[in-house]
Structure 1
């Protein structure tokens, strides 16, 4: 049994989500191979080779893979799929982009958002916005899966010594092309990898009021997120959204400010180690999942907290 993990990276660094996906692969058992597809990404392949539990790294370095276009990555994975019993990718925007294409091309069912491995053919995944957990048994010859990184502790990034093998396949579907990308540049940690996350909701009133969260975040070295309601209201950009239709986070500390706790939002953060809620509505659903709750006006409580740090 050989398992393929598709690495997530930016052609320079291996993303932390890949290490969590490797943990899921290790739980399945068997040899674990990692596919690194990109352009000028040899450093990423070397990083993957050092990760614990990796037996081999497949390096596909070609112009066609520079921007991780779903059509090209999908074709590459399908081309080498016959060598593997399981194909895993992180349940991130990138993984969700190409993995359904891989499953369709292989004519198998995709198992999405896996949070636990029960057996090589049996897995657990959340349904109904995380309100129920389904146990799924697959009889497909190849299991195509996305893994929720917040559910698995990342493997060690050092200590391995896997061989790196260059692939000659160059799969350019020719049906899509990269136009441009707009990246948010911030000195704060990324939402999905931060150990502390502070999220604001509609209770903040407008985008300018998020400044009080930014000041607190700078004191705590935290990332700043937002609820869907705050994003839909135009307070902040959608790359800050935490929730079922946003980013999944599981930090050591999650501070929810002016946020009611809709099911959509809870699905993306309730695996956090410690949850703190600040809301003036004592009936807000967020208090049902919070470890610590403060019923107070956020415009008084947050500046006071920031001032004492």
Structure 2
């Protein structure tokens, strides 16, 4: 469901309406059917809904109606107006999706954007979706954030940190752990038999031999050597300003980036609407649109569903690749 005051409901309705032209796999939404029905009526969209009692029913009804697995509580939401009273419904939808995926009833979970502030006002203790999903899944390693589109995959070694703190937090161990999780996910979830990882430098010109900062030589280069010793085809540190042009992108399967904007600027420049947020390191497949709740345009029917469409397709592709990997 995501934040019910945001655009999640309307892009979900649009995804179902465009299911045939976009070749979408069958999916169902965990939400309040009445809320979605009111939203469709508000937008004057002919999107029939069908409450279901479980995922097995979804495939049978998908061609005729959007399957909705009802929440245990009604959701009264006005587009653009946050209400902490809906926080528990948002979290219930996430919990249900994770539980169904863990038990194999669903192939993966695609999460619509949440609004962290309103959840925290209601007592939510996690920085965001990713950390909550990791807790629910009880995974062995830390979750890793990947942003992906058709032309580029970027992976974040550090995520939501002030820029001045990145050199303090960045360690060889963290880079190696992120690289291992990425390489394994590329093999198991994306069907890349021998992943090639580009490792970005931290400083301009990857430190210029220590003249522009010592972290590239002291922290990143040793991490790259350790990944290579593990049998992972990794190279770097590479100056970030030469890592993302079209020719460079053909030389690797994913780029490990040292901080948030180093990863997000290139992928949002290349494919602003079609980027997908993928969580690696979980025992389940999880994707999400690479945008927020867009409260300012919620309820107007103008939000683009492109990122959600891409997230649904990528989740299906990852599930198929995982199945092939498991069968080998």
Structures share a fold, TM > 0.5?
no
- Which one has the bigger helix percentage? 2
Structure showing greater relative contact order (alpha-carbon pairs closer than 8 Å, 6 or more residues apart): 2
Indicate the structure with greater strand content: 1
**Range class of TM-score, shorter chain:** 0.3 to 0.5
TM-score, with normalisation over the residues of structure 2? 0.31
